[in-house]
């Protein structure tokens, strides 16, 4: 484990060691953690857990919007931090054959092996958590999924925070894949319940699912 006291050192250390996960404070002497998160994730799909004293809902929403995979406020319990880090890192587990299937819905392609999403043959810049959430929804087309189910399956632990964290990530994904994020066609809101990926007439073909 490597540590840094400021943004400049953190970025240099990040480039040197290429970590799987970064625990990042929002308030750094020479940088804002949100900006540092974006810069790191522009280089690879590193997981980012914000650990900070900034505990207002707007702060948390901003953390997730800027690419954070989780957000924990101070003071914190070391066991909870360990559980959250473990849950995040489990997302890098080996992909099973059943999970390797490319999902193709019209011009949208989701490739779990390469962890890439393309729309009209253009790469869509998703964070690691956004990819996992989109892939899980698209793997269950037409199925209504509760926020609690999405948290359990994608976050992979009993998230103790506000379940509206799902809404923040869905909103970010919609901005990147929907023609009109205010009138989504692919990821639909089921009021009072959760979300569903709307892709009817799904069929299997040559190792990929297509519409």
In a domain, 121, yes or no: yes
pLDDT bucket at 1, cuts 50 / 70 / 90: confident
Q: Quick: pLDDT tens for 148-193.
A: 899 888 876 655 556 778 999 999 999 999 999 999 999 999 998 9
pLDDT of residue 202: 46
Spatial distance between the Cα atoms of 65 and 172, rounded to a whole number of angstroms: 7
Percent of the chain with pLDDT over 90: 55
Q: Quick: pLDDT tens for 102-111.
A: 999 988 999 9
Spatial distance between the Cα atoms of 59 and 136, rounded to a whole number of angstroms: 26
Whether 21 and 1 have beta carbons less than 8 Å apart is answered as no
Which of 56, 75, 92 is where one domain is finished? Answer: 92
Q: Which range of residues forms the domain containing residue 111?
A: 97-210
pTM of the model: 0.71
Co-location of 80 and 178 in the same domain: no
Q: Distances from the Cα of 126 to the Cαs of 132, 141, 192, in angstroms?
A: 9, 20, 26
Domain count, the chain: 2
Co-location of 84 and 123 in the same domain: no
Cβ–Cβ contacts within 10 Å for residue 158, how many? 10
Who contacts 174 (Cβ-Cβ below 8 Å, separation ≥6)?
181, 184, 186, 187
Q: Which two tokens mark 168?
A: 């923040």
Which of 58, 92, 126 is where one domain is finished? Answer: 92
Closest CA to 118 of 127, 130, 109: 109
């Amino acid at each position: 484990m490597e540590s840094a006291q400021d943004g400049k050192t953190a970025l240099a250390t990040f480039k040197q060691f290429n970590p799987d996960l970064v625990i990042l404070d929002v308030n750094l002497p020479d940088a804002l953690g949100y900006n540092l998160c974006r810069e790191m994730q522009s280089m690879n799909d590193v997981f980012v857990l914000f650990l900070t004293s900034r505990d207002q809902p707007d702060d948390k929403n901003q953390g997730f919007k800027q690419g954070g995979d989780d957000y924990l406020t101070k003071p914190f319990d070391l066991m909870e931090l360990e559980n959250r880090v473990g849950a995040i890192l489990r997302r890098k587990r080996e992909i099973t054959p059943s999970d390797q299937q490319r999902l193709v819905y019209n011009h949208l392609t989701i490739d779990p092996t390469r962890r890439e999403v393309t729309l009209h043959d253009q790469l869509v810049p998703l964070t690691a958590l956004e990819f996992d959430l989109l892939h899980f929804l698209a793997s269950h087309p037409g199925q209504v999924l509760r926020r609690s189910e999405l948290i359990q399956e994608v976050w992979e632990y009993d998230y103790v925070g506000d379940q509206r964290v799902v809404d923040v990530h869905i909103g970010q994904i919609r901005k990147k894949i929907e023609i009109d994020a205010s009138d989504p066609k692919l990821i639909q809101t089921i009021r009072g319940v959760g979300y569903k990926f709307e892709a009817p007439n799904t069929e299997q073909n040559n190792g990929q699912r297509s519409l």
